[in-house]
Every structure is written in structure tokens, then in C-alpha cells.
A and B are shown apart, each in its own frame.
Chain A
């Protein structure tokens, strides 16, 4: 099976990052890391590949930089990577991102496209759905568990109260969610081999996509700091007051 996994390199969440003054874009350092949520996608891709003797191709739109984040995913076991590195794509919105990724994936036959639900630095959460439309395949979202058998993919779709079982014919796009699948650690050999795995670098024009950032960030404001909570002094009956508060806020 041919499996494409969309991954994103993001600034290391452990070190706070800046927005540039002119465009309010994230200033991307040279050594970005693999988005943690994408590790689930890579793991799902690898499991499908192992079950079907398939290959996993990473697809990523990002300044290639040191490729540290992509190598993390290659070290986990992905076979190769395609990077779309193009200055004119800086600050792209979700639609442009989806166009670019779809075009890169569509160059070859694929059976499954795996994407994370949403990125940790952007949080738009709509790229997978847009891509499925462009690739003209069904989108199975919030997939927490994935099986493929005889050309049919079956997922457990996480819902607010439990899960649904959803099936689809292949090819299909899966937007996966954390919870059940444990991303593997890269092995030492995986780390060593990652450097010699093929990484193809493309531009928007290589893909025949007209770069169009599609959005302008007009203003950025700090998140309002949280107000101090109510403190309930315990005089032996505090639990009653807490239950009342929880009922007021409709938590229970």
C-alpha cells in the first residue's frame, strides 16, 4: 500500500517563539521539530505499512531548514519525504496549504493519506477535510484506531461521548487523533539511517500551484489572562457549595 503522511515541522514548543512585526507570522527557527500530534499520524502510517508491506511517504510544507523535524519522522521508520519549501508560501492559510499538500500527494497513486487532526502551532483543524475534497476521496476524521482489510478501511471515530465505527473504501484520507495509538520511539539505527533516506524538495511552481497566501493577519492580541477562581473555604460543608457551583456552570 502507498501511504502518504502529512507532517508539520513547528518551532520547539519548549522554547517560546516570536511573531514577526510586519506580518505577524511565526518566526520559524532553522531547527524546527516534528509536531507532537503528527507522531500519531506517522505511527498509524507505519502500522498500516507494516500490515500491508507498504511504504510511507512524508509530505510536508515548510521551510526545510535543518530538516530536524522531518528526520524525526524518518527515524521512526518512514521511507521517504517530500518537502515543499517555497518562500512565496510563507504565511499561507489552510486552503493554500491543502492545495499544496494535495498537489504533492496527487503526483503518485496513493491508497491512504494520513493527517493529524490539527497542528499545534496553527490550530485551524480544517486542512484534512479540504484535502479530501481536492483529492476526491472520503475523509474519515477523528480516527483513533485504524484497520485496513481487503481494500476497506475501518476506523473508530472519537466522539464526545464515545466512538463510532466508520468504514470506507480505499483510497481514503484519515485525520487521526491521539489517545489509543502510541507513537513509537525512533530506534538508534533509525536515527542513523534517517539521514540517508530520500528527501525531495519542491516549490509551488513544481506542483503547478499558483502561490496565494490567502490570508492577512491584521492584528495580534494577547489572550486575556485568566481570572483568579473562586475559593471555597471548607467549613465541613464546602462540598455542597462546590456541587452548586458545578451545577451553575452546567458541568454536572
Chain B
């Protein structure tokens, strides 16, 4: 048994940590306050190769393992969840579906820019009437000669409206019992990107509702097989869950570091607040959660890298790590007292940002559902 990261893994961690500390951390509070998506920094992350970690070399990627990507996401999440989710969604939802199911022509058209981080793609699954129940998708695509005519709407779509967004991949009903996946280039007539949401957290991440009003795209924009959209989407879901768990690990580690430092430095009643068991034990609990979440997350990532099944492990890691992250941000905020409620305090931003970790890419309830089914329970 070997629980060590490789030398490359450690080098990636070092590189991303340093970059995040220098270029993201000092600005994250301002971006959050302004709801500002920092295009130039995302492009820089692209230049460092972060969007291309797992993509094939043929498309400009490094062809490296999924664990490396998780490490990069974890390190960015320590200082800013908005940039971490931008990377996570850019790869998991933007690049992966095309990389996995695209035709050679589709790959050649879209992947080089996406992999280099010169462009971003979104993935539109969720709708106003279909979230956890993705099968309830109502958006329709009808063939008219050589074109799909798309009508409907999508909700909460990450990376869908930035100035570097080149396309959005959407799921749409192409028959009564049939959901397919279609590539919709940015700027397509009838493809309307609604104004960005005002969000409780992840404020520097780009999220929009999308409307399709007779939007026409070439027939060749079908991704993969017609009618396999739902299946395709399910098969990329497990990666996303592990990547979100990696974000949660970064948040946990950050809460731990911040809390221990503050508990040592902050004095009340003439002694450090960390000399009170009530505070010290909160730190101890965060330490335990951080270790457990990290082990679960990298075990799942390792299974994927080994080409072994990891559905159950992905759901377990996502559930435990994200719920722990929410607990830890709440506790860290408590340790910081009044300062913990101020925008300028990192754990305050983490507290607002962490909640959605329990919602996106499958809610906690859906993870429990998956895990229960994995146990063979007759859950409906």
C-alpha cells in the first residue's frame, strides 16, 4: 500500500499553490464584492496548462491523471472557490463531454481552444423544471432539414456567458422518450444568455439562465449518438463529484489553517482563545474532517486513474467532503467571532461559498440515494 503522492503530483501542488497565492488570493475578495469574473486570470490559468491537465496531447493537453486535476482544484479552492469551480466546470462540464463523445471534427473544432484555456464551454442540463430529476428535461430540439431547431430554457449554467465562452453543450428532448446532447455555439441566433444571477456565493464564477427561441444549429452538432444524451451525461457525472469533493478538501484545509492560526493569536481573558477546549476541539474536529475528506477524495480519484469502478466512492467522497466543508466553514466563522462575519475574512467568504457544494453536481440527498442504491436497497 502506498499513500504517497508522486513527485509530479507534489510539483503540481507546489506550482498551483504558489500561483493561487500570488495571483488569486490577493484579488478574490474584490472579485467577490464586484461579482466580477476575472477573464485575464482564467486565461492565465489556461497558459499554465490547468485546463489541459487530463486532455489528450493530440488536443494540446498533457494527458496526465485525474488526481493531478483534483490537486489543482483543491489548491485553488483553498483561496477562492469561484476560480476553483471555473476550472472544475471548465474541464468536467466543458471539455470532458466533447473529449469523450465528440466526433473528430467536433474535437478538432472546439477542443484546442478549450484545452488551452483560451475559451470556455458550459454544460446545460438543469432547467427551471428539471434539476435532480434530469429526466424531466423539457427543452426540445427538432430536426428541420439539416438543422436542429431548439426551444426551451436552462437554469444556473456555469461558464455559459463569459466573454471567452465559445459554446454551451445542452441536453434536449429529440423525441418523446429520447434525450440527446447538442453543441450550441455562442452567438447562435435565438440562443439568449440571460443576465448573470446574483448569488449568495461563488460570486466571481459565471452563472446564467439560458433561453432558446428557435435557435438553429447544424445537424452535425449532435454530440455522440441521438437518444444517448442522458446516458452520456450520467457517465461523466462521477468525475465531477470527485472534483467537487476536491474543492471541499481545499476549503477544509483553508478553514483548518485559518482557525488554528487565529485560535493561537487571538486573546480573550488574557489568553489565546485556543486555550479553551470549546475552541481547540472545534479545530481538532476540522482536522479530522480534513483528513477523512482528503482520503475519501483521493481514493476515488485513484480508482478512476486505475480504470476501476468508483461510482460509490465518488458519491461517498462528494457527500462527506462537502457536508464537512459546510460544517467547517460554520465552525471557523464561529472561531473568528465578529471578524468571521466580515467580508474581508477568508472564512466568511468560504462560509457563503461552501453551501452550494452540497447542491451542485448532485445534491447531498441525491448522493445518499446513489449510495443507498449501491448498497442494494430498493430505494425509489
Contacts and interface: CB of A to CB of B under 8 A. Distances in A.
Nearest to A34: B14
Contacts of A190: 49
A185 B15 contact: yes
B12 to A, nearest CB: 6
Contacts of A66: 7
Contacts of A194: 11
A203 to B, nearest CB: 24
B64 A187 contact: no
Contact of B8 (A185, A187, A195): A195
Contact of A191 (B12, B18, B47, B52): B12
Given A192-B62, A192-B64, A185 B19 contact: yes
A188 interface: yes
Interface stretch (A67-75, A87-95, A210-218): A67-75
B18 A185 contact: yes
Contacts, number: 44
B7 A71 contact: yes
Interface in A173-203: 185-192, 194-195
Contact of A71 (B11, B50, B72): B11
Q: Which of A71, A188, A189, A191 has its CB near the most chain B CB atoms (within 10 A)?
A: A188
B47 A187 contact: yes
A186 B11 contact: yes
Interface in B1-47: 7-8, 10-12, 14-15, 18-19, 47
Interface string A73-89: 00100000000000000
A188 B19 contact: no
A81 to B, nearest CB: 15
B91 to A, nearest CB: 12
Contact of A186 (B10, B15, B62, B64): B15
A198 to B, nearest CB: 17
Contacts of A75: 11, 15
- The binding surface of chain B is classed by DSSP as helix
Interface residues of B, number: 19
Contacts of B53: 188
A195 B18 CA distance: 20
Contacts of B47: 187
B48 interface: yes
Please classify how large the interface on chain A is, using the bins under 10, 10 to 19, 20 to 34, 35 or more.
10 to 19
A189 to B, nearest CB: 5
B7 A188 contact: no
A186 B7 CA distance: 14
B326 to A, nearest CB: 30
A188 B10 contact: no
Contacts of A185: 15, 18-19, 48
A116 B15 CA distance: 21
Contacts of B7: 66, 68, 71, 195
B19 A191 contact: no
B270 to A, nearest CB: 20
A187 B68 CA distance: 13
A196 B50 CA distance: 20
A142 to B, nearest CB: 25
Contact of A72 (B11, B19, B50): B11
A43 to B, nearest CB: 14
Contact of B15 (A68, A191, A195): A191
A12 to B, nearest CB: 10
Given A71-B7, A195-B7, A188 B18 contact: no
Given A66-B7, A68-B10, A185-B19, 4 more contacts: A185-B15, A191-B12, A194-B11, A195-B8
12 contacts: A75-B11, A185-B19, A187-B47, A187-B48, A188-B12, A188-B64, A189-B52, A189-B62, A191-B12, A192-B8, A192-B62, A195-B7
Interface of B: 7-8, 10-12, 14-15, 18-19, 47-50, 52-53, 62, 64, 68, 72
The 9 lowest CB-CB distance pairs between A and B, nearest first, are: A188-B49, A187-B49, A191-B11, A189-B62, A189-B49, A192-B62, A186-B15, A185-B19, A187-B48
